[in-house]
Amino acid sequence: MILDLLRHGETEQGGLRGSLDDALTDKGWAQMRSAVAQAGPWEVLVSSPLQRCARFADELGARLNLPVQREPALQELHFGDWEGRSAAQIMEDQADALGRFWADPYAFTPPNGEPVEAFAQRVLEAIERLAGQHAGKRVLLVTHGGVMRLLLARARGLPRAQLLQVEVGHGALMRLVPNDDGQLLEGR
């Protein structure tokens, strides 16, 4: 499986969105359309069920005459009490906690949030399922920044504490390809 990862575009609300189901802005739609304009072709489309991913995947699927497979396990990390808040807002009353999360997201979980270890497990299990279902195919996964950071950090062999140092902009399109051992590596 060749796996292209597409992060959703800009959303109507800022801050940590996590499991919040926000719509894209016009700019967000344009970012995603631009990202795929010269890319592909894909044989399979997979999307997070959150509308900031799924609505674009549905539009693209209709244009390419491909069904869209929804994959709930590839939703963004749930940020708990921090969802919907900007980093600046969190810094006002939980600066130490935010600093610990940024320093090592595996070692610190936002209040009432999803542990990154559990997030990583669900994402990696979903990717393994997709690889089994779509062996030998070119797959486009429309997903979130956290999912892409996790997969790219693993492909790059980064230490777990460096997860949040992986840059993934809105509308970013990146490719992972398997090596002989089945490990996904960053590719072109």
pLDDT digits (tens, 9 = 90+) for 102-128: 999 999 999 999 999 999 999 999 999
**Amino acid, res. 56:** F
**Domain harbouring 43, CATH code:** 3.40.50.1240
Question: Does the pLDDT of residue 50 top 80, yes or no?
Answer: yes
Residue pLDDT, tens place only, 127-141: 999 999 999 999 999
Contact 150, 157 (CB under 8 A): no
Number of domains in the chain: 1
Cα-Cα-Cα-Cα dihedral sign, residues 110, 113, 118, 120: negative
Residue (of 109, 51, 121, 122) closest to 79 by Cα position? 109
The three-class DSSP label of residue 101 is: helix
Backbone phi and psi for residue 29, each to the nearest 5 degrees, phi listed first: -60, -45
Nearest C-alpha neighbor of 85 from the set 26, 9, 18, 164: 18
Q: What is the mean pLDDT of the chain?
A: 95
User: What's the domain range around 170?
Assistant: 2-187
What does the pLDDT average to over 21-25? 94
Give mean pLDDT, residues 156-164: 94
pLDDT for residue 4: 97
pLDDT band for position 180 (cuts 50, 70, 90): confident
- Residue 188 reports pLDDT greater than 80: no
Which pLDDT score, from 0 to 100, does residue 184 have? 84
pLDDT level of residue 182 (50, 70, 90 thresholds): confident
